[in-house]
């Protein structure tokens, strides 16, 4: 993607999330699953410097914030960063940093983060390899990376994408998204030097189910069918892939 197109895409994504309630409320069950999986995969670990790329309202990273842990929140949307800022206690504001911009262009210190969260972002990224190499530059040796994608090769993923294509004819999407195979994501990060440690797969919801269930019901259905990252089941039927990588 050339620079002009990349800047236009960033602008479209930022604009789509300037009124973020559609995402925060409409994907509450999915966000909850992601948060719980991050907690499970990082259990027993302590972190000094966390980077949350595409931080949204900070749900994934805020639980790590403490007097001993600093968090850098990065997002294309100022509205999302404002949401995060409103949730931070006054006594911990000195432990936070807010970055508005493209992850590949924002100035970040090399080898400085011991946890990088890259969840809910790959759908807006055309070049996975570039992202993997960039994360490798900023993460510390032995640091953890949480990444996520909707597997475009999975039959349920293809079903959901087909439904989106159909509905977009009547209601165009808020911004362009990209479809990646989970295997391609794993390969890109492994080629950048990361080691895949764990994967939790589930399916957010099918189009018909989504029309007749609320967020709490969807969460309960996902947990009953797919279990948790600690006790997973029916993984082959999951199109959403949450992956834990470790930097060498």
Instruction: Give strand pairing partners of 240.
Output: 150, 202
pLDDT tens by residue, the chain, 248 residues: 444 444 455 557 777 778 788 888 888 999 999 999 999 999 999 999 999 999 999 999 999 999 999 999 999 999 999 999 999 999 999 999 999 999 999 999 999 999 999 999 999 999 999 999 999 999 999 999 999 999 999 888 777 766 566 666 566 555 678 899 999 999 999 999 999 999 999 998 766 677 788 999 999 999 999 999 999 999 999 999 999 999 99
Look at residue 3 in the predicted model and tell me its pLDDT.
47
Collect contacts of 26-29 with beta carbons under 8 A, ≥24 apart.
27/204, 28/215, 28/219, 29/204, 29/205, 29/215, 29/216, 29/218, 29/219, 29/222
pLDDT, tens digit (0-9, with 9 covering 90-100), for 58-99: 999 999 999 999 999 999 999 999 999 999 999 999 999 999
Question: Topology of domain 3-246, per CATH?
Answer: Rossmann fold (3.40.50)
Q: What is the pTM of this model?
A: 0.90
Look at residue 5 in the predicted model and tell me its pLDDT.
47
Look at residue 182 in the predicted model and tell me its pLDDT.
95
CA angle 92, 29, 229 (to 5 degrees): 85
């Amino acid at each position: 993607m050339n620079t002009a197109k990349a800047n236009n895409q960033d602008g479209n994504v930022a604009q789509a999330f300037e009124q973020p309630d559609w995402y925060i409320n409409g994907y509450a069950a999915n966000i909850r699953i992601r948060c719980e999986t991050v907690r499970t995969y990082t259990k027993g670990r302590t972190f000094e410097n966390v980077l949350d790329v595409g931080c949204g309202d900070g749900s994934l990273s805020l639980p790590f914030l403490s007097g001993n842990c600093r968090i850098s929140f990065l997002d294309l949307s100022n509205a999302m960063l404002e949401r995060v800022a409103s949730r931070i206690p006054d006594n911990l504001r000195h432990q936070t940093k807010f970055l508005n911009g493209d992850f590949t262009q924002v100035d970040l210190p090399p080898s400085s983060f011991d946890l990088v969260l890259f969840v809910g972002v790959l759908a807006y990224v055309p070049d996975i390899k570039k992202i993997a190499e960039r994360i490798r530059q900023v993460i510390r040796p032995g640091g953890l990376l949480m990444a996520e994608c909707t597997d475009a090769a999975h039959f349920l993923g293809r079903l959901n994408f087909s439904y989106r294509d159909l509905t977009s004819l009547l209601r165009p999407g808020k911004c362009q998204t990209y479809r990646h195979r989970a295997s391609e994501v794993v390969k890109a990060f492994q080629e950048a030097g990361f080691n895949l440690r764990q994967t939790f797969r589930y399916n957010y919801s099918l189009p018909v189910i989504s029309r007749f269930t609320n967020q709490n019901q969807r969460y309960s259905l996902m947990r009953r069918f797919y279990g948790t990252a600690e006790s997973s089941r029916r993984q082959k039927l999951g199109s959403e892939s949450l992956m834990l990588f470790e930097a060498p």
